[in-house]
Structure 1
């Protein structure tokens, strides 16, 4: 296998007619890392992946692979390989010929390309199926054929467009583990597009959260989860309550924030001037139930929904001008003191669990 390459995206934008799909984004993906581009539909993640691959032209900026500027190179000249969401296998060819196809296009002789294709099928544990056609395989096996076909070119980076979306939930989890193992053993750079937070958290060394053609945050999974950079990231990753209001005064804790329709809450000092908008986040699993709030660190709410989740229970409450506030508590804690919809409860949290969120750049 060839050496992994760092990928650098320098002020890259993509414009379709009057629509800007990607707004001058900059990002460095370290060599040999597993990077997930994460975000909702239409956020620009697939356009970004396709520009790295060379399947979309760049409207502005540069793409570098290692020390090489590949912005204007054809896909086959870049040192990248792409695995498409649909797998795009040839139904009339057996697995060996499917995997060897790109080598055939390059004029490699039959014996050499077949030997290399068999090596790739062995890597994917598909050697016994070498003479089968794609229709005779399961979804997970077809995916591994598509991976083998992408990897036969010895790419410096493998680009994956929602590779797990067509699989059932159990197979998804198994293939996730296989992808991670494969990336670790090959040591090449993987860039993987997904809209699943769970998938990104399970796979990535670096998660790039995108929204409306911009990067909201690019960091390790734990950082994105524990210290979301913006209100969008906190909401999209789930597991956080976001309270939006205005800075009204200074308090012993730092800052006082007032919600338009009601409550006043405390947050750490963060240099936001009085009167300016401010967003704070509190993790759902850090919310305490039944303990009176101190110093603007909580409120009394009315329970609007209860979801039993096995090991935990999700409570949603309304109050203090907040439409929806979630607490995740253990099943034991809930069933020791059951709560009903419509009941008034005290919700509180510790000062150290308040995160002041920034604005998207």
Structure 2
């Protein structure tokens, strides 16, 4: 397999007419990384992937693969391979000829290309199905054929556009494990576009959270989970409450933030000017219910919804100028002291679990 190469995206923009889909983003993807581009629809993640692939032109900036500037090269000359969401298999060809197709286009003689195609099918555990056509396969098997066809060109990076979106939930989880195993075995970079936080967390070494054509955070999944860089990341990942207000006071330990409804909350992080807008994040699974709180580290909330999730219970609450606050508690803790919708309960959290969030300069 080809040696993996670093991918360097340097101040890359994509403009369609008067719309800027990607705003001068810069990102280094180390060789051999499983990278997930994550974000809501329209955030620029697919445009970024297609620019790396060469299926979309770059409006400004450069894309480097290893030491080569590939910005203006056609897809076949880049050392990347793309696997499309639709798989795009040829219905009239058997699996061997589907997988060998790109080698046929390159003029590789029949025996050699069929031998290589069989090797790829073996890697995908599809050798017994070599003479079948795509319609005779399950969704998961078709996906593995599409993967084999992309990988036969020995790319330095494999690009995947929402590859699991068409699969049922059980197959999704199985294919996730197979993708991760395959990437580890091959040692090349996989760049995978998804809007699923769970998928990105399960697969990636590097998560790149995008919003409105900009990168909000690019970091290891654990960092993104525990230390979201911005309010958007904290909300999008769904594991933090975001409290927005203004700096009331600023001390050595961190600022005190006041929200419109009058609540005041302490946070750890850099000091700001008094009166400046600020957001703080509080981990949903670190919120305790029914315990009195220290100054700035809690409030009394009214329970608006309760969702039982098996090993945990999700509570939605409001109060102190906060509309929508979430607490995730273990089933044991909840049922030891159950509450019901409409109850007023004290909420508290440790000081280290309230962090000041950064703000993107647009």
Normalising by structure 1, report the TM-score: 0.99
* 1:129 matches 2:129: yes
CA displacement, residues 317-352 of structure 1 (integer Å, 9 cap, x when unaligned): 000000010000010111111110000000011111
Partners of 1:269 and 1:134 in 2: CA distance: 55
* 1:280 matches 2:275: no
Partners of 2:185 and 2:234 in 1: CA distance: 33
C-alpha deviation, 1:262, in angstroms? 2.3
8 Å CA contact 1:159, 1:190 repeated in 2: yes
8 Å CA contact 1:251, 1:266 repeated in 2: no
The residue number in structure 2 matching 1:345 is: 345
The secondary structure found in structure 1 opposite 2:223 is helix
8 Å CA contact 2:161, 2:194 repeated in 1: yes
CA displacement, residues 48-87 of structure 1 (integer Å, 9 cap, x when unaligned): 0000000000000000000000000000000000000000
Partners of 1:265 and 1:62 in 2: CA distance: 44
Partners of 2:26 and 2:252 in 1: CA distance: 39
The residue number in structure 1 matching 2:167 is: 167
C-alpha deviation, 1:254, in angstroms? 2.8
Partners of 1:218 and 1:9 in 2: CA distance: 13
* 1:61 matches 2:61: yes
C-alpha deviation, 1:252, in angstroms? 6.8
CA displacement, residues 278-297 of structure 1 (integer Å, 9 cap, x when unaligned): 00000000001111110210
* 1:149 matches 2:149: yes
Partners of 1:269 and 1:116 in 2: CA distance: 55
Alpha-carbon spacing, 1:56–1:252, altered in 2? closer, same or farther (3 Å): closer
C-alpha deviation, 1:160, in angstroms? 0.3
Alignment of 1:1-361 (within 5 A): 1-251=1-251, 253-361=253-361
What runs of 5+ residues in structure 2 fail to find an aligned partner? none
C-alpha deviation, 1:360, in angstroms? 1.6
Partners of 1:250 and 1:133 in 2: CA distance: 67
The secondary structure found in structure 2 opposite 1:268 is coil
The secondary structure found in structure 2 opposite 1:102 is helix
Partners of 2:85 and 2:267 in 1: CA distance: 43
C-alpha deviation, 1:102, in angstroms? 0.4
Partners of 1:269 and 1:24 in 2: CA distance: 28
C-alpha deviation, 1:251, in angstroms? 4.8
8 Å CA contact 1:301, 1:317 repeated in 2: yes
What runs of 5+ residues in structure 1 fail to find an aligned partner? none
Partners of 2:43 and 2:161 in 1: CA distance: 14
CA displacement, residues 256-294 of structure 1 (integer Å, 9 cap, x when unaligned): 111012211112251210010000000000001111110
C-alpha deviation, 1:253, in angstroms? 4.0
8 Å CA contact 1:248, 1:258 repeated in 2: yes
Runs of at least 4 residues off by over 2 Å: 250-254
8 Å CA contact 2:44, 2:213 repeated in 1: yes
The secondary structure found in structure 2 opposite 1:131 is coil
C-alpha deviation, 1:159, in angstroms? 0.3
Please, what is the CA RMSD of the aligned residues?
A: 0.8
Alpha-carbon spacing, 1:12–1:252, altered in 2? closer, same or farther (3 Å): closer
Normalising by structure 2, report the TM-score: 0.99
